[in-house]
Amino acid sequence: MKFFLDTANIDEIKKVSEWGLIDGVTTNPTLLSKEIKRTGEKPFNILKEICETVKGPVSAEVTSLEFNEAVKQAEKLREISKWITIKSPATIEGIKIAGELVKRNIPVNMTLIFSANQAILAARVGATFASPFIGRLDDIGKDGMNLVYEMVTIYNNYGFDTEVLVSSIRHPQHIVEAALLGAGIATIPFEVIEKMSKHPLTDCGIERFEKDWEEVKGSWF
Residue 76's CATH number: 3.20.20.70
Q: Which pLDDT value is given to residue 124?
A: 98
Q: What dihedral angle (degrees, nearest 10) is formed by the CA atoms of 42, 46, 52, 53? A: 160
Q: Is residue 207 part of a domain?
A: yes
116: nearest Cα among 65, 64, 145, 154: 154
Which residues form the domain of 40?
Answer: 2-214
- The answer to whether residue 184 is domain-embedded is yes
Backbone angles phi, psi at 52, to 5 degrees: -65, -30
- The pLDDT, as a whole number, for residue 217 is 74
Provide the residue count of the chain.
221
Is 220 inside any structural domain? no
Mean pLDDT within 150-164: 98
Contacts 24+ apart (CB under 8 A), 196-204: 196/172
pLDDT tens, residue by residue, 119-154 = 999 999 999 999 999 999 999 999 999 999 999 999
pLDDT of residue 210: 87
pLDDT at 59: 98
**Whether pLDDT at 219 is above 70:** no
Q: How many domains are contained in the chain?
A: 1
Q: What is the pLDDT of residue 213?
A: 83
pLDDT tens track for 15-70 = 999 999 999 999 999 999 999 999 999 999 999 999 999 999 999 999 999 999 99
Question: Which are the catalytic amino acids?
Answer: 87
> Does residue 77 sit within a domain?
yes
Largest CA distance in the chain: 72
Tens-place pLDDT, residues 203-214:
999 999 988 888
pTM of the model: 0.93
Domain assignment of residue 219, yes or no: no
Indicate whether 218 pLDDT > 70.
no
Q: Is residue 221 assigned to a domain?
A: no
